Chain A
């Protein structure tokens, strides 16, 4: 019965599209031509570039925050924890508006690319920090204790023993977090940085094929993100089974 309902829904949608002439071949044909795709792929490239740069920066900051949050020194631990907890609850769009409209007033007018990348980095750093922290905490205590017992300092233990193991464990979560970051780059629509969604907006304004353009843009996002999600699942499946902890 549910399947019938869904079929009816799909039929209704197609009818609605057809009734308004949105299914006409002429309205879809442009997307079989190379110049359209060249333009959209240019947008996709900007999306990927923004995502890569902000992912790299956010991961570096996130790792620093995670280590800070696990530090033994309260004056490092508290600010790191506060940053993560506060930034986690502030919408990325609000940060984008701050960079767009507030910073220029204080004489800081970033180039367009950084107007998108900076707020994404700030907001995603807190998310990556939590991923890293969970990874570090998931390493058995014995590993760190063994490192200290053979005479390594705290820093060396973290760097040589705990982090390499944690990095392997958090890899799937890092990839799925990156899908979120890639989705966030669509805020370029607000910044007017020419990433995929904004390119779609420009294209739609130029050729008037509004629905078609945005559907094609959505499909491109879907293909890229679904591949990344698949990668995350493959990595997850390849993780060695955790041994149950023995008391």
Chain B
């Protein structure tokens, strides 16, 4: 137990980095997911193809491969960015594919008449997406998005494997120093479980407030 308390500042720092990674990459993933969903439901076949290819590719590659490729590969082609920034961007791109998939199922759950009515009123594709379809689609996917958020939190720990000192890396370092694995790893595990529990609580509340009973 003392190992945990002695290194509280390090753990705090690690937790902050994990939260930064989670928040920033979730924001990025949400934007990416929206863009890719818009591509996938657009009336232009080429754009639909690009959207589908994006989702298929990113969902079928291990995140660690992408992280390793970005961290070690980008400097070789002359793109230099900080480790944390690289990790955030890669995780955002990766999880964006999952959010896009969830959003698309939400869009499919909106009945076709809604979109047709919007177009009949003279709204453009973008307008009907923004004002009619997405507001309804988003309400149906609160729970899936919450699950993706939790998976994203777990996945930020992979940044530890490429050298970002997040919660997982901190736990590992402190353990190498103190050799008291049980309190250290249980503590770190609990911190992750706590983040997931908070996310579960928030999505539960959101869902109850937003869900449309059909």
Residues of chain A having any CB pair with chain B under 8 Å? 2-3, 6, 16-17, 19-20, 22, 86, 88-94, 97-98, 101-103, 105, 179, 182-187, 189-190, 197, 201, 204, 210-211, 214-215, 217-218, 221-222, 225-226, 229
B210 at the interface (CB under 8 A from A): no
Q: Given A90-B193, A91-B155, A94-B157, A214–B175 Cβ distance below 8 Å?
A: no
Q: Contact between A93 and B65 (Cβ–Cβ < 8 Å)?
A: no
List 8 tightest A-B contacts by C-beta distance, closest first: A102-B181, A89-B196, A91-B157, A225-B60, A186-B62, A183-B62, A91-B154, A186-B64
Q: Contact between B172 and A92 (Cβ–Cβ < 8 Å)?
A: no
Q: Contact between B73 and A211 (Cβ–Cβ < 8 Å)?
A: yes
Q: Which of B47, B59, B63, B172 contacts A3 (CB 8 A)?
A: B47
Inter-chain contacts of A179 with B (CB < 8 A): 59-60
Q: Contact between B168 and A94 (Cβ–Cβ < 8 Å)?
A: yes
Closest to B56 in A: A226
Q: Which of A103, A183, A184, A189 contacts B61 (CB 8 A)?
A: A183
B77 at the interface (CB under 8 A from A): yes
Q: Given A97-B185, A98-B181, A210-B76, A2–B47 Cβ distance below 8 Å?
A: yes
Can you list 30 A-B contacts (CB < 8 A)? A2-B47, A16-B78, A16-B79, A19-B78, A88-B150, A89-B193, A90-B193, A91-B154, A92-B154, A94-B168, A94-B171, A94-B192, A97-B172, A98-B181, A98-B185, A101-B176, A102-B181, A102-B185, A105-B179, A179-B59, A189-B68, A197-B62, A197-B64, A197-B65, A197-B68, A210-B72, A211-B77, A225-B61, A226-B60, A229-B56
B2 at the interface (CB under 8 A from A): no
Having A3-B47, A3-B50, A97-B171, one finds 9 other A-B pairs with CB under 8 Å, namely: A22-B77, A89-B153, A90-B192, A90-B193, A91-B157, A94-B192, A210-B76, A211-B73, A214-B72
Question: In the complex, A131→B150 CA distance in Å?
Answer: 17
B158 at the interface (CB under 8 A from A): yes
Inter-chain contacts of A185 with B (CB < 8 A): 62
Inter-chain contacts of A16 with B (CB < 8 A): 77-79
Inter-chain contacts of B77 with A (CB < 8 A): 16-17, 19-20, 22, 211
Question: In the complex, A159→B56 CA distance in Å?
Answer: 37
Q: Given A22-B76, A90-B193, A221–B62 Cβ distance below 8 Å?
A: yes
| B2 to A: closest C-beta gap in Å | 16
Inter-chain contacts of A217 with B (CB < 8 A): 65
Inter-chain contacts of B157 with A (CB < 8 A): 91-94
Inter-chain contacts of A189 with B (CB < 8 A): 64, 68, 161
What is the total number of residues of chain B having a CB less than 8 Å from a CB of chain A?
A: 48
Closest to A182 in B: B62
Q: Contact between A184 and B179 (Cβ–Cβ < 8 Å)?
A: no
Closest to B158 in A: A93
Residue of A6, A16, A185, A186 with most partner-chain B CB within 10 A: A186
**Which B residues from 149 to 195 make CB contacts under 8 A with A?**
150, 153-158, 160-161, 168, 171-172, 175-176, 179, 181-182, 185, 188-189, 192-193, 195
Closest to A227 in B: B60
| B86 to A: closest C-beta gap in Å | 14
Q: Contact between A184 and B62 (Cβ–Cβ < 8 Å)?
A: yes
Q: Contact between B60 and A222 (Cβ–Cβ < 8 Å)?
A: yes
Closest to A85 in B: B193
**Which B residues from 26 to 77 make CB contacts under 8 A with A?**
39, 44, 46-47, 50, 56-57, 59-66, 68-69, 72-73, 76-77
| A111 to B: closest C-beta gap in Å | 19
Residue of B57, B60, B154, B176 with most partner-chain A CB within 10 A: B60
Q: Contact between A91 and B60 (Cβ–Cβ < 8 Å)?
A: no
Inter-chain contacts of B161 with A (CB < 8 A): 93, 187, 189-190
| B44 to A: closest C-beta gap in Å | 8
Inter-chain contacts of B8 with A (CB < 8 A): none
Q: Contact between A102 and B175 (Cβ–Cβ < 8 Å)?
A: yes
| A199 to B: closest C-beta gap in Å | 12
Question: In the complex, A6→B53 CA distance in Å?
Answer: 13
B85 at the interface (CB under 8 A from A): no
| B101 to A: closest C-beta gap in Å | 11
B117 at the interface (CB under 8 A from A): no
Inter-chain contacts of B172 with A (CB < 8 A): 97, 101
